[in-house]
Amino acid sequence: MLIVCLPVACTPDPDRVPAQPTVTTDGSIRFEDATESSGVMFRHVAGRSAQKWMPEIMGSGVAIADFNRDGAPDIVLINSGQLWREARPAGAANALYLNDGQGHFREVSVEWGLPSPGYGMGVAVGDYDNDGYVDLLLTQFDGNDRLLRNTGTSLIDVTEQVGLSSDGAWSTSAGFLDFDADGWLDLYVARYLHLPSADAPQSFRNQVLVYPTPLLFPPIADRVWRNDGQGHFTDHSEASGVAAAPSKGLAVAIGDVNVDGRPDVYVANDTAANQLWLTAPEGSWEEVAALAGSAYDEHGREEGSMGADFSDFDGNGLPDIAVSNFHLEVTSIYRQSQPLLFDEAADRVGVGQTSRARLSFGLDYFDADNDGWEELLVANGHIEDNIELNSSSVTFAQPNSLYRNLGDGHYADISEQAGEALLGSAVSRGLATGDLNGDGRLDFVISNNDGPAQVAFNASEAGHFVLLWLEGRPSNRSAIGARVVAQIGDRQLQREVMGAQSYLSVSDFRLHLGLGQAEQVDSLQIHWPSGLLQTLGPLAQGRHYRIVEGQAPEIYVPGERVIAP
């Protein structure tokens, strides 16, 4: 391992992260609806029909990423259209919105050449060619996924050129990762089930036609694509062992869950055991979810899992896993007490009771009040648009959920006290977070099925912050897989640049550190995917720092200027 220290002394990794403050639920976390003022006028078109085809109720995703390198995160929203039609109906296009740095967005979809092929589902971002611009992957119901190379001013479809082939299977969530540690981003694509045609079987409940259960359809194996660094991907699905483990994948979380320096892939499967893949540079990967205790609910049952994310929510130094599930199933919280030893603890940590009443999709860990403890935001909405005919106590549109991290290993549901943005009901699906207006507080975007997207700005009484834009060299330029350990007084925070999380979506790669009332990060360790351990600091609060691997940090202002790659 190569170690670089800038400009403070190198220190060993922490063994444990001490518990810290008691946090109250006094309403200091608050979100305001900024959809109209932001300029994001996107509406998802599902093309719902009387036949109730399953894909109509599943989309779609959202990405928050900086596409033009001005330091301000932009937004991509995925549209769907109408099944079994060659052309999309009017108003059903995908959308790219560029940010001015203050949370005002301008749509540039046509100008940049963003295509809208097929029936859209999800989105992934990552700089696959290491040119400094994050590229875009669109996943489709028909499996005709498209890879778009970002030039900084346009998006060019290079799918066939790079060798990404389609077998017609239903793709859902996807994410980039560097599983062979060669500095080039590889790709994992989750796939759902085999829906043969428009003549797929129908389901009835109490003589009412409903969207069919996934139990009626066979599973599909996910796909792994290896980047050769020469502008081409090869199918690594069989070599990794993923091709031999078909399931019903809806979400992917990619990060180093056991803190061994290699990326892991967690797949949330619908009505099937969830999977946790420990990747390897060569040969077969190891699937360990059941052995590790993160495949089933606390009673050992498969669930209807929809979304997934990682976070060390209890501060013990090991990432935990949150998984959103079907109505009457809790949002699972898999606590990791030792490496690869999880227990499902939703009821014990304060999430179980209220989450049972919701049907949940996207979810994201993020620090809403800058106290260093990550909250959990969950996007809710049923899949049956006539559910009230069969269950008078359940609604199709549902309010979203926000769980405050109390700093002692427990959550409190503050959804009804957290501002107007969380009071309405919708059929929510994709969810992503990022600091959209540059004020140091994390905001969110939610994609609603067959409805308008929501942009919410954080108006919380928040603590201090530091925001990190990491760029790899020789690690992948997106720094996916980089992990930071921040020393803040007598406390340590860990954050990682994850390749995927939530549902059909991905959040901003920039790492946000909530400092509470501390004036600085005393020291920062960066564990780069290349193996470099870089130590630097102190870093003053209230700043945005760009850190190129092995170099000293530089301060930037979001939206102020385009930074050359």
Give tens-digit pLDDT for 386-397: 898 888 889 999
Contact 219, 193 (CB under 8 A): yes
Going by pLDDT thresholds of 50, 70 and 90, the confidence category of residue 200 is low
Rounded mean pLDDT, 407-435: 97
pLDDT value, residue 276: 99
Domains delineated in the chain: 3-556 (2.130.10.10)
Contact 354, 347 (CB under 8 A): no
Neighbours of 86 (CB within 10 A): 6
Give tens-digit pLDDT for 518-551: 999 999 999 999 999 999 999 999 999 999 999 9
Q: Does position 4 have pLDDT exceeding 70, yes or no?
A: no
Nearest CA to 382 among 205, 123, 197? 205
Mean predicted lDDT score pLDDT of the chain: 93
pLDDT value, residue 203: 80
Q: Does position 416 have pLDDT exceeding 70, yes or no?
A: yes
Q: What angle do CA 481, 486, 492 make, to 5 degrees?
A: 115
Give tens-digit pLDDT for 104-158: 999 999 999 999 988 999 999 999 999 999 999 999 999 999 999 999 999 999 9
Nearest CA to 413 among 296, 501, 330, 343? 330
**Phi and psi for 326 in degrees, rounded to 5?**
-70, 165
Give tens-digit pLDDT for 28-52: 999 999 999 999 999 999 999 888 8
How far apart are alpha carbons 154 and 161 in whole angstroms? 17
Give tens-digit pLDDT for 251-276: 999 999 999 999 999 999 999 999 99
Contact 433, 441 (CB under 8 A): no
pLDDT value, residue 20: 32
**Phi and psi for 414 in degrees, rounded to 5?**
-115, 20
First and final C-alpha spacing in the chain: 26
pLDDT value, residue 15: 32
Running DSSP on this structure, what letter comes out for residue 226?
Answer: E
pLDDT value, residue 84: 75
Enumerate the H helices of 173-263 as residue ranges.
Answer: 237-240
Window from 80-89, 234-243, 355-364 with minimum mean pLDDT: 80-89
Residue type, 473: R
pLDDT value, residue 197: 67
pLDDT value, residue 412: 98
pLDDT value, residue 14: 29
The widest CA-to-CA distance across the chain, in whole angstroms, is 71
